[in-house]
Chains A and B, each alone.
Chain A
Amino acid sequence: MATLRRPRKPRLAVWKFASCDGCQLSLLDCEDELLAIADAVDIAYFPEASRAMGKGPFDLSLVEGSITTPHDAERIHGIRRASRTLVTIGACATAGGLQALRNHADVKDWVPLVYASPEVIETLRTSTPIANHVRVDYELHGCPVSKEQLVEVVKAFAAGRRPVLPAHPVCIECKRRGLACVLVARGVPCLGPVTRTGCGALCPTWGRGCFGCFGPVRGAHAVGLAGVFKANGLGDDGVVRAFRGIYAGAEAFRKASELHE
């Protein structure tokens, strides 16, 4: 009789590019689930948490951060080759992050504003999402990502299934909670109608407009919303800034901002 063998634990790796560390910190912020996750998967490479740095191949790679240097544009290919499944986490990895604001400027003018010796700084003209460089199996959005969604993604891929996450806009979340609409009732610019849910309509709950930290929802009509902002009296520069924030690099928001430049 054949003996049942316990299946090998999936090997997890966590990688970082240009970012603030917040999305991978979300994993350590899963205080209750962390040790359970560590039991269910083999955390083979996670330098923020461990000096044990295992070699590939990895079953699941979580990638945080955007591509902003020639070195990183190379490095991501090695990670892709070593990873069976590659999931990008957060605004930086999925849309270029706040640092993608450079895509609208000339980075050569910017470096000397920050560094005393600009000639030693190696940086690309643009900040781009990981998917512009390699094949990505799944994108988890948010600045930062929701830790509940992150746990769902790790669990799903560890079990060999697709994650199940909501795909509706923040706006629906407000309606469900019975919150007064900050845009309609107070004329506050709010990206809720075009932003993917994930935060639980956090900003409207605190009495402010959504600033889009989970990025555009599929089919977002950002250009139309920009028109509403204008009709409410927001100037062109305000409209540009509203869409040119944390998800400045996302196509829908970029288009809306460029129309008002």
Chain B
Amino acid sequence: MSRPSATRARRTLAVDVLARVEGEGGLEVKVRRGALESVRLNIYEPPRLFEAFLRGRDFREAPDFTARICGICPVAYQTCAAQAMERACGVTVPPAVRDLRRLLYCGEWIESHALHVVMLHAPDFLGYESGIHMAKDHPEAVTRGLGIKKVGNAIMTAVGGREIHPVNMRVGGFWRAPAAAAVKGLRDRVAWALEESLELLRWVATFTFPDVRRDWVFVALRDPERYPVEQGRIVTSAGHDLDPSEFERHFGEEHVHRSNALHGVMHGHGPYHVGPLARWALNQDRLTPAVLEAARAAGLAPVERNPFRSILVRAAEMAYACEEALRLIDAYQPFDPPAVEVTPRDATGWGVSEAPRGLLWHSYSMDGRGVIRKARIVPPTAQNQKSIESDVAAYVERHLSLENDALQWGCEQAVRNYDPCISCATHFMRLSIERV
């Protein structure tokens, strides 16, 4: 839904409802006398106040509650919340629990990336309004994408009970380790999804990408052995290597040029970028040889600074998540007890992981009875908001000669490069008082 208005001197592009993003947001771009005046991403997703109502709740409720922040990436929230509580209570979960969480999380990466790559993002490159419209001319690609997505959901159901808001994860581990047959039974389907993901990667590599180059500081997790998913230290392209407990010392939100603007900033460096491009730049040496080779063959450079090319990294990560899921499925043995005992204590803990859209950080303080006293949740899309706006600005500056309709579509696409999850990010995003 758009309201392009143009006079000779000034034109305004207003996208009232941004399509193919999770949550509700809009975009306003103002161009005056042939020059870009302003770009504003409006988030009118209503605040739901999670950090407030978590206060006074039992620490064991945080995984199920915070899952409800986002229906697309509930496992990211459950994992961070469970980790934070375990850390606060001085508990380390056994490797079997960690591996099963990673498998569940791989399922989420697969379903989320498949949805975005095929149904939400690819239509932009090929000029379709939606994946459903695209299906008429590209039935194979759409069927392939939905098939891969279904395999991701099958992993989440086998390990977590259901694909949206799984019920099996808890502070300390799981409620029950799934039967070996249920996990091993996924193998053939995941092997199929791996091959199809590589095919998808070859397909998106044929797209034409707008020529945009952005200079961001990349921020991602780094794991000693593997591509980062459910854990890691925080590293940056500026050379930081941080314990996640130091997050708040280095990252915050600042009021920038408008009184109600809150942007994720890295102290001393300004805006930063989290998500697939950051993970790729900082962790490609942790990919499996097959996926790394496929990614290079698809044309990915060692550092990708073109946000439109994030679709390539998502496709490669989808293949990686399939390969990783296969490894974890093969190694899986049911374990009992499914969780370690967690005794509450008066303490603060943090949890961090790589949600499909980028780094997610949680921190909770609880009292000696396990009652939550303070909660802080920093979702990836909030951290990327400044990058999103500046990407749109960069795109507009290079494409001012385009007609309004084409320029608007390009701007929307520049936002969708981030697979922005506005439902998650609401509480950090600026809410425009002008409502459209």
Contact = CB atoms under 8 A, between A and B. Distances in A.
Question: Are these two chains actual partners, yes or no?
Answer: yes
A47 B255 CA distance: 30
Interface string A1-27: 000000000000000111111110110
A28 B119 contact: yes
Contacts of B170: 208
A48 B22 contact: yes
Interface string B9-23: 000000001111111
B321 interface: no
Contact of B44 (A31, A38, A53, A71): A71
A123 to B, nearest CB: 6
B334 to A, nearest CB: 13
Nearest to B61: A241
A20 B150 contact: no
B52 A50 contact: no
B46 A98 contact: no
Contacts of A137: none
B260 interface: yes
Contacts of A32: 146, 150
B163 A51 contact: no
Interface stretch (B101-109, B131-139, B287-295): B131-139
A94 to B, nearest CB: 14
A88 interface: no
Given A114-B49, A122-B431, A22 B164 contact: yes
Contact of B74 (A22, A107, A114): A22
Q: How large is the interface on B (under 10, 10 to 19, 20 to 34, 35 or more residues)?
A: 35 or more
A204 to B, nearest CB: 10
B366 to A, nearest CB: 14
B1 interface: yes
Contacts of A213: 165
Nearest to A51: B19
B57 A29 contact: no
Nearest to A248: B53
A225 interface: no
Given A29-B163, A205-B161, A110 B61 contact: no
Q: Which of A22, A34, A113, A213 has the most CB of B within 10 A?
A: A22
Nearest to B409: A51
A50 B45 CA distance: 18
Contacts of B143: 35
A151 interface: no
A183 B58 CA distance: 20
B20 to A, nearest CB: 6
A17 B46 CA distance: 7
A105 B53 contact: yes
Interface in A199-229: 199, 202-203, 205-208, 211, 213
B255 A116 contact: yes
Interface stretch (B65-73, B223-231, B277-285): B65-73
Nearest to B252: A116
B147 interface: yes
A98 B175 contact: no
A128 interface: no
Contacts of A117: 255, 259-260, 262
Contacts of B338: 207
Contacts of B49: 99, 102, 107, 110-111, 113-114, 123
B94 interface: no
A25 B19 contact: no
Nearest to B369: A237
Contacts of B255: 116-117
Contact of A246 (B68, B130, B131, B421): B68
Given A97-B68, A122-B431, A113 B168 contact: no
Interface in B201-232: none
B71 A31 contact: no
A71 B1 CA distance: 18
Interface string A46-64: 1111111100000000000
24 contacts: A20-B70, A21-B22, A21-B421, A25-B72, A29-B164, A31-B149, A35-B143, A47-B24, A48-B21, A48-B22, A50-B20, A52-B133, A69-B46, A97-B68, A98-B50, A114-B49, A122-B433, A123-B46, A144-B162, A203-B167, A206-B167, A206-B176, A211-B64, A238-B58
Interface of B: 1, 17-24, 44-53, 55, 57-58, 61, 64-65, 68-72, 74, 111, 115, 119-120, 129-133, 135, 142-143, 146-147, 149-150, 153, 161-165, 167-168, 170, 175-176, 253, 255, 259-260, 262, 338, 409, 412, 421, 423, 427, 430-431, 433, 435
Interface of A: 16-23, 25-26, 28-29, 31-32, 34-35, 38, 43, 46-53, 68-69, 71-72, 97-99, 101-102, 105, 107, 109-111, 113-117, 120-123, 127, 143-144, 199, 202-203, 205-208, 211, 213, 238, 241, 245-246
Given A22-B71, A208-B175, 12 more contacts: A19-B423, A38-B135, A71-B44, A101-B53, A107-B49, A110-B53, A116-B262, A122-B433, A123-B46, A123-B47, A206-B176, A245-B65
Closest 5 CB pairs of A and B: A22-B71, A50-B130, A51-B19, A110-B52, A52-B129
